[in-house]
A and B are shown apart, each in its own frame.
Chain A
Amino acid sequence: MQEYRKISITKDEIRTVAQRMRDNGVHLAMIHAFLDENGKGNVSYEYEIDPAIESYTVEGENVLPTITDIYDLGAEWPEREIMELMDIKFEGVDTSKRLFMPESMFADQGGHILVTPMEDLINEKKAKEDEK
């Protein structure tokens, strides 16, 4: 049966762990992230060690090294999506073109829809409707 194992690591260990996993043929299931109450990042690198998921988690960091040179597109899309949805950056990823959010939103709001308060989003929508 499936298991979930959370393992805390530091920012400096991210690439070492990724390289070790890659060398052992381990599939990167996903990179997940959320911001805590203080706006600090919580980023988990979820590796498939069947039947378990080993979740290597970095807490309290908003700028992290990329692992796209290790896991290629399997890591690039998750990293770019996180960058567009919340205030977490991956150094070394090409973000010259949008992936997920509209360019207008990316420019105007930093693309951080996931952490923008719901009331702000509702008010913005109402304001646009009033303009019409």
Chain B
Amino acid sequence: MSYIVPIGPYHPALEEPVHARLITDGESITDAEVFIGYNHRGIEKLAQQKNFIQTLVMVERVCGICSHSHAFSYAMALESIAQMNVPKRGQYIRVIIAELERLHSHYLWLGIALHIIGHDSMFMHTWDDREAIMDILEELTGNRVNYGIITVGGARRDITPEQKQHTLEMLDKIEDSMDRLKEMLLSDKTVALRTQGVGVLTTEDAIRIGAVGPHARASNMAVDVRKDAPYSSYDDFDFEKAVFPTCDVFSRVVIRVLENYESIKIIRQALEMLPKGPINLGTRIPKIPAGEYMVRHEAPRGQLTYKVVTDGGETNKRVSIHVPTFKNAPTVPTMLKGNSVADAGLIIASIDPCFSCMDR
């Protein structure tokens, strides 16, 4: 018997609104459709009315998780149009915050995935560990969510020697707890039963649909903007692209564990090699000539793109924002096919979606 099962736009298994329509044959999903846009706030439209600093503040609020990635990308686009050279110390501070953001985002996703599969004790453990990262972010930026560390031309806050020392000590503790978490995640029977062989996205499908970020890397695609098209100061650091071949939800768990180690490695190097000198080019509203530029940034969920067009005036002619979920959400129907309805919530969540980001 064939049924159409609607999920969302508002559903207990979804953190944010999206609508999926599952076409089922008994318990099995035979096809699916996804509809987006329930959280559209007209941010691109608003960007056309605001000056560059106002837009910087606004785009940081596109997303509550990868807020720094948005401000970082927008600032890089303007700096490229205006051919500004961001001081090296400012670049390093940006990278440190970006990698801390990746860490807390990956911990957040791991916690949500564990919660969805019903492993609430490990969910609590994961989010408890995440608090240490949030504390570092608060100490370095003054904020836990929208950090406000970016300005056009650099960073807004410096890192003191005491903060540097404390962050390095905290990273040691986070890495220790990460070792324990890795052990549990990779050996737990419940995690294995609910994630292995579930929501498979083959490498061919990932390439065909254009998946990005950890979602693509979990389908054995070796793509990472930080390596493929380095920006800011990522060229200065030694780290690996994490790739895993099983293409299922378990693979997406493993990828995030592996990437946490790489992020810790990058933050340590950036702190230890933090160059001396200014952190920005001043905090006045910048003058941006007419031009256009597209920036790619490896946000926690994957490739984030900002295309900015300016006409030499005080506002943006066009700001076009495309987040990793926009590229990864079309993979959901493919992943759902052949799985049971009970796994639909987990499979949708496995792309680490941010629908507010996507709808902007």
Contacts and interface: CB of A to CB of B under 8 A. Distances in A.
Contact of B235 (A1, A33, A77, A121): A1
A2 B318 CA distance: 21
B229 A73 contact: no
B318 A77 contact: no
Of listed B36, B210, B322, B326, residue having the most chain A CB within 10 A: B210
A18 to B, nearest CB: 13
A132 interface: no
Given A51-B229, A74-B330, A101-B37, A34 B309 contact: yes
B164 interface: no
B45 A73 contact: no
Interface string A29-56: 1101110000000001010101111010
Interface string B67-98: 00000000000001000000000000000000
Given A98-B35, A113-B45, A28 B296 contact: no
Contacts of B37: 98-102
Interface in B277-308: 292-296, 303, 305, 307
Contacts of B209: 72-74
Interface string A100-116: 11100000000001100
Nearest to A84: B37
B40 A101 contact: yes
Given A2-B230, A4-B293, A77-B330, A29 B235 contact: no
Given A4-B293, A72-B208, A30 B330 contact: no
B296 A53 contact: yes
A101 B223 CA distance: 31
A113 B228 contact: no
A44 B229 CA distance: 20
Given A30-B322, A99-B36, A113 B42 contact: yes
B16 interface: no
B294 A4 contact: yes
A106 to B, nearest CB: 10
A118 B210 contact: no
B330 A46 contact: no
Nearest to B322: A30
Interface of A: 1-2, 4, 6, 25, 27-30, 32-34, 44, 46, 48, 50-53, 55, 71-74, 76-78, 97-102, 113-114, 118, 121
Interface of B: 33, 35-37, 40, 42, 44-45, 49, 80, 207-210, 223, 228-231, 235, 292-296, 303, 305, 307, 309, 317-318, 320, 322, 326-327, 329-331, 359
27 contacts: A1-B230, A1-B235, A4-B294, A27-B223, A29-B303, A30-B305, A30-B320, A32-B294, A32-B318, A33-B320, A34-B320, A46-B294, A46-B307, A51-B229, A74-B330, A77-B326, A97-B35, A98-B35, A99-B36, A100-B37, A100-B40, A100-B359, A101-B37, A101-B40, A114-B44, A118-B45, A121-B42
